[in-house]
Structure 1
Amino acid sequence: MEEVEDCVFVLASHQIQIHFTKRSDFYLRVRSRPIIEDSDGERFTNYCLKYEGIEEDLVVAVLDEEIGNWANVDDFKWLKVVQNPNWSILPKEERVGDVDFVNSNSSTS
């Protein structure tokens, strides 16, 4: 993903690479650690998409196990031990809650 600003993404993938992105929120289920580069203001949290049959779809995609990698972001431009200023965990009170794809309703959980 490249060159986006002020967006919200709900993604399930084996790998996520984010470049030249600003002030966006990512709701992720990812097998490997997300990678950011040349990005600023990114916020991450766990996957929130719901629909009938999602569990089976995640099994087929080998994404059924939630391993928490959404919180283990690597920034190739930040190699220091201290907290990276380019990304953070999205605070619970600012999350959209579960997104029901079939009904297009959003509710807090």
Structure 2
Amino acid sequence: MGSVLIEGAEGCLFILASHQIRIHNAKNCDFYLRVRSRPIIEDCNGVRFAPYCLSYEGIEKDLEEANLAEETGNWANVDDFRWLRAVQSPNWLVLPDNERIQTVDISNSRVMD
């Protein structure tokens, strides 16, 4: 859960917890994040951000051990490296509440061998 780099994604939904997240060349993707630093986007458009929504038995312990237990709110503080103006970048937005998915609980999911 240290650093995540996503490149070239299109039309995807991501639920990620990490210390740092960089997103390059993504189009029309939704990101549900728990992140320690500000997410960075570059050459992206149509990307939307919302708070982390994953749940499973023991997640609190896992997040604590990864030093990600505290919700920093950084999921909404995106830095667009291709938009250096003082006004909001047109390349990303906060996902409206009524369009967000609810909690994704994977407690009863099984891993197939």
Find 2:28's aligned residue among 23, 40, 46: 23
Q: 5+ residue gaps in structure 1? A: 105-109
Identity over the aligned pairs, expressed in percent?
65
After TM superposition, give the deviation of residue 93 of structure 1 in Å.
0.6
Q: Distance in 2 between matches of 1:15 and 1:75?
A: 14
Q: What corresponds to 2:87 in structure 1?
A: 82
Alignment of 1:59-98 (within 5 A): 59-98=64-103
- CA offsets 1:64-89 (integer angstroms, 9 cap, x no match): 00010000000111000111100000
Counterpart code for 1:70: W
TM-score by length of 2: 0.90
Instruction: Provide the aligned length of Structure 1 versus Structure 2.
Output: 104
Counterpart code for 1:90: L
Find 2:60's aligned residue among 55, 60, 66: 55
> Per the alignment, in what secondary structure is the counterpart of residue 20 of structure 2?
coil
Alpha-carbon RMSD across the aligned residues, in angstroms, is 0.7
Q: Distance in 1 between matches of 2:84 and 2:35?
A: 22
Runs of 4 or more, structure 1, over 3 Å off, are: none
After TM superposition, give the deviation of residue 12 of structure 1 in Å.
0.1
TM-score by length of 1: 0.93
